[in-house]
A and B are shown apart, each in its own frame.
Chain A
Amino acid sequence: MNDPLPWLILFLPLLAAVLIALFLQGKPRLSALVSVGAVVVSFILSLDLLAQFLGGAMLSAKFNWLRVGHLTIDFALRFDALSLLMVLIVTGVGAVIHIYSVGYMKGDPGYPRFFGCMSLFTFSMLGVVLSGNFFQMFIFWELVGVCSYLLIGFWHRRPAAADAAKKAFLTNRLGDFGFFTGIILVWSMAGTMDFIRVREEMMRNPELFDAAATGVGLLIFCGAVGKSAQFPLHVWLPDAMEGPTPVSALIHAATMVAAGVYMICRVFFIFNVPALQIIAWIGGLTALMAGLIAVQQDDIKRILAYSTLSQLGYMVMAVGLGEPPAAMFHLGTHAFFKALLFLAAGSVIHGMSHEQDIWKMGRLKERMPLTFWTFLAGALALCGLWPFSGFFSKDAILALACEKSPTLFAVGIFVAFLTTFYMFRLILVVFFNRSKSDAAGHAHESPLIMVVPLFVLAAASIFGGFFGIEQFLAPQFAPAPEAASFFIKAAGFGFAAFAAGAVTAFALYFKAQSDPLPAQMQWTCGLLRHKFYFDEIYAELIDLTQESLAKAANALDFVLKLVIRALHGTAELTGRALRLAQTGNLQTYTLLFAAGIAVVLYFMLLH
């Protein structure tokens, strides 16, 4: 199909990025305008596409990118309910965050670079979402990774930011190793990498992957573990908060980290039962671990980052339990409220002149009322209070767990409790309690260009549950779930968890000036504050394996050089020794000549 519309949606942001990179380096205002314009136009065009889709038009577009032998790699755009939903989230939430950034990044010397990277990210993310085959997805997968790298390290003069960027990229590379290997494996066994055709092949021949089926599924899942920061590759996401806050909102909360979840929903057909079980448990474990760590963090962005990890764990668990629409539903609502929470946190940080420690904040409700109310809306949505959007999506996942696995259901309820607990801790400390620092006293509300996006996202967070995202997606994934989207048992337990969390938080933190928990539970809190020592353990592991191997290789290389030097030395020594014979003295030569004749005569006469 030669409709230019799909291509425009994808390539407009790229065009903006190229324009900014080549021509707009010294023009901050214009670069922001171009970048914001591209994403807004993309959003409007995708709304048009949605209308066409609802009207029944099946859209797809492709051309061939590479063809050698029986390896065919197409560049295809695939529009269905799943990808359209993501396109709308990426461009919609993206547009809001772009506009917010215009205010937030004001005065930064790297302003055009920031918007260039943001546009490049939007392009890459749309590429991931619209991919029609594994290989194309991998290409954009790597591109979003590099955009994330560039934006985490945006303030590259700060060593912490530069280190965090490197860590994020390398951790993702570990996951991509599995992903790429899995892709080759799929291709070599199915003969194609196109999603639809692999699915057809599998339907025609259920034994396609036979013994390797679980392996294929888990290798592909590796990619999601890296990008969606699931245990054991979760360590990069909290550090990624070193990037500017709009980046944390767009990339490390709403869209890119959700790409892993999107990917496993996209290729859901490839997972067999054992693989799905492992996926569900990895998700549950991540949700639990991150929720626990969040309880003892003091940096406002890190609390939100661990909360993101925890929510991603929910989504992965939902996929593992066999219900991609539930996962995508939560992905959608999470994109709204988590972007909102980050932007509101950014507004707080902006108002506090870049202070991020919650214990230095306080009473901000009075000084930043607009930020407070929007933050509260986001937090309640995250905690899953009816009728906020988070309630519906979380409820769907909890009901699913309730039905499939009691243990995971218990985990889910406990994580819901933790979520409410740490969010109320955050709200009480930041917005209500008295603070010790001066900065909190001088805090000011953010400019309009930052507050309006908060309201847009707050509206989406409140009403997002009523859009019927799950029903929109359901037809794509047989078997269709029952129409009811309200599960009494799960909702009851969920509300109990919410109430328990809120009450505990009030009991502990109302008017608290410092955290009372570490004094009471020293050992546990130490463990949580140090994030279960994952960073330390990994550093030690890397030192033991990769670094030792590298050192060994380097030492061997040095020895090799010495051997060659020794060879060189021997040759040179021989040469010097032989040079002694070349004296240039006629008498010596005559002597040697005579000796030679004597030797020859001796041998000849002897025989």
Chain B
Amino acid sequence: MSPLTVIFVVPLLGALLIGLVPRNYRFVIRSLALLATFVSMLTAIWMFCSFDPGQAVRGYQFVEQHAWAPSLGISYHVGVDGINLGLILMGAVVLFAATCVSWRIADREKDFYILLLLMGGGILGSFASLDLFFFYFLHELALVPTFLMIGLWGRGEDKTYATFQITIYLSAGALLVLLGFLGIYLQLPVDQRATVGFDLVELTKWFKAHPMPPGAQHWIFPTLLFGFGILVALWPFHSWAPPGYGSAPSATAMVHAGVVKKFGLYGLIRVALPLMPDEAQKWVYVLSALCLGNILYCGMVAMRQRDLNLLIGNSSVAHMGFAFLGIASLSLIGLTGTVLVMVAHGFLAALTFALSGYLRDEVKTLNIGEMGGLLSRLPFIGTVMIMAMLAGCGLPGFAGFPGEALVLFGNWDRSAVVTALAIWGALVIAGIYMLRAIRQIWHGDKTWTEAPDAPNLWRKFPFGLLLAGLIIFGCFPRLLTDNIKISVGPVVRSIGADPTDTASSPIPILRRR
């Protein structure tokens, strides 16, 4: 059995087992959840370490395939290459950390952990899947618990509306994606539908040999672009994200912002770009304009927030702009950067939402204006959060920096102006809102008497784990990029750009010699 199957089935099995445990066995429920996510994380780490970079050129590793509905061309097919390797590792670590920090949940624990494990198992399975049907289905499996959890355990006065909004937006996005997938399927000749079917590897091969007609690409690509875009909060479809995360329980915000949201970016790289390269070329200009909306506009909105969760939410949306910018560069460097940004942002978003959840529980407020001087009271939590916030404004040493740098380098030849504006967003705007937040929350002379710091190693552990992820990949980015670039190469090649070079620049603003 492939380790990939273990990674996502164990949490799902855990959910099933918890379902059988009586409601008042709270210790058993929590232990089961921790055990399941821990096993999943260990397997993911083992898989990451035993992934063979030498074999990466050949394609997927740890492949497992079983026929499921042969007449429709649907099979259970999992595999991992450089693109989803880091994502699965990050997802499994975030899921375990999210389970760890949920110890404060006291209300309907059983349902909470079932939903959390469904969410985590679902999205990990989706990232592992190489069959469009399972890819989509498992993502939906992760999405629906998100809505329920925000609705049931969410906080804040705007909770109901936030739940409503996130449900409508994300369902609409997912629906567009479904439409796009069906469109792709229908582009197959009838006799191929059973053999090629929904299998991503076969589909990629088929459409490489028989390019999709431009007429079909013309509507399928934008459908997928905006469908996936809505799921990742592409500007101007971002307004679900900040209030949604603001109201969500910490664990939900961690897993959704950190992991589930990456589905859209992953889908663009894995499905939309390689299958519809011609149309992708045409849309990158729109995409790079929109991602400036994320980087600049949402960054400025973040500056004006008074609520910590809304600030983090907006900053997280702004970070997604860099991931989109890397995709819009259509270059090997930029796309590699995108995948690195996805992994880095997963750790970072999970870490910041976990910390803000801690503050909400202990300090009883998330209003930045009411805080101040907390660093002396909460030295551990404060130090970790300051590090996270510095990581959020692109400090070297954390994984976000090499990711964003690659994106910016990769996009320079396509458009120097867009890149320069993005650098402004990365260095200056992000710096302003993060440093203002640090100043107002942690520094200052306000004295606190309540609000205890994380008391023991066990409570500190999840934060340390996520921070370690950021630092390890920040100091040694090659652990990820060496595999990413090999797997991204064919995607870039299929678009027609030479993977050894940057973008094939249609408008050479500054020509490379």
Contact = CB atoms under 8 A, between A and B. Distances in A.
B510 A188 contact: yes
A124 to B, nearest CB: 10
A180 B478 contact: no
Contacts of A568: 164-165, 168
A451 B423 CA distance: 46
B489 to A, nearest CB: 9
Contacts of A212: 510
Given A67-B478, A557-B239, A157 B445 contact: yes
Interface stretch (A139-147, A271-279, A513-521): A139-147
Tell me if A's interface is mostly helix, strand, loop or mixed. helix
Given A69-B333, A156-B443, A169 B478 contact: no
Contacts of A553: 297, 300-301, 304
Contacts of B423: 177, 180-181, 184
A68 B406 contact: yes
A446 to B, nearest CB: 28
A118 B409 CA distance: 32
B478 A189 contact: no
B186 interface: no
Interface residues of B, number: 61
Contacts of A181: 420, 423
B501 interface: yes
| Residue from A71, A139, A560, A561 having most chain B Cβ neighbours under 10 A | A71
A554 B445 contact: no
Interface in B111-135: none
B456 to A, nearest CB: 15
Contacts of A70: 500-502
A170 B432 contact: yes
A431 B109 CA distance: 71
A156 to B, nearest CB: 4
Interface in B259-280: none
B459 interface: no
Given A185-B510, A546-B432, A162 B444 contact: yes
B339 to A, nearest CB: 11
B431 interface: yes
A159 B408 CA distance: 36
| Residue from B168, B336, B420 having most chain A Cβ neighbours under 10 A | B420
A187 B413 CA distance: 11
Contacts of A556: 297
A389 B236 CA distance: 62
Contact of A173 (B236, B420, B431): B431
Contacts of B482: 67
| Residue from B402, B409, B477 having most chain A Cβ neighbours under 10 A | B409
A365 interface: no
Nearest to A185: B510
Contacts of B439: 162-163, 165-166
Contacts of B436: 166
A550 interface: yes
B395 interface: yes
B332 interface: yes
Contact of B435 (A140, A170, A189): A170
A598 interface: no
Contact of A549 (B300, B409, B416, B513): B300
Contact of A146 (B236, B390, B427): B390
A63 to B, nearest CB: 10
Contacts of B376: 156-157
A557 B333 contact: no
Interface residues of A, number: 55
A69 B498 CA distance: 9
Interface in A2-52: none
A174 interface: yes
Interface in A125-180: 135, 138-140, 142-143, 146, 153, 156-159, 162-163, 165-166, 169-170, 173-174, 176-177, 180
A180 B477 contact: no
B250 interface: no
A550 B300 contact: yes
B510 A166 contact: no
B412 A560 contact: no
Nearest to A25: B379
A184 B412 contact: yes
A552 B406 CA distance: 31
A191 interface: yes
Contacts of A153: 443
A68 B431 contact: no
A553 B236 CA distance: 12
Interface string B73-88: 0000000000000000
A153 B161 CA distance: 40
Interface in B389-425: 390, 395-397, 401-402, 405-406, 408-410, 412-413, 416, 419-420, 423-424
- Smallest CB-CB A-B distances: 3 pairs: A162-B443, A553-B300, A554-B304
Given A71-B410, A162-B444, A546-B432, 18 more contacts: A65-B477, A65-B478, A68-B332, A68-B485, A69-B331, A69-B499, A69-B500, A70-B500, A139-B401, A157-B373, A157-B376, A170-B431, A174-B428, A177-B423, A181-B423, A553-B297, A553-B300, A561-B239
Interface of B: 161, 164-165, 168, 236, 239, 297, 300-301, 303-304, 331-333, 336-337, 373, 375-376, 390, 395-397, 401-402, 405-406, 408-410, 412-413, 416, 419-420, 423-424, 427-428, 431-432, 435-436, 438-439, 442-445, 477-478, 481-482, 485, 499-502, 510, 512-513
7 contacts: A66-B402, A68-B336, A69-B332, A185-B416, A551-B304, A553-B301, A554-B303
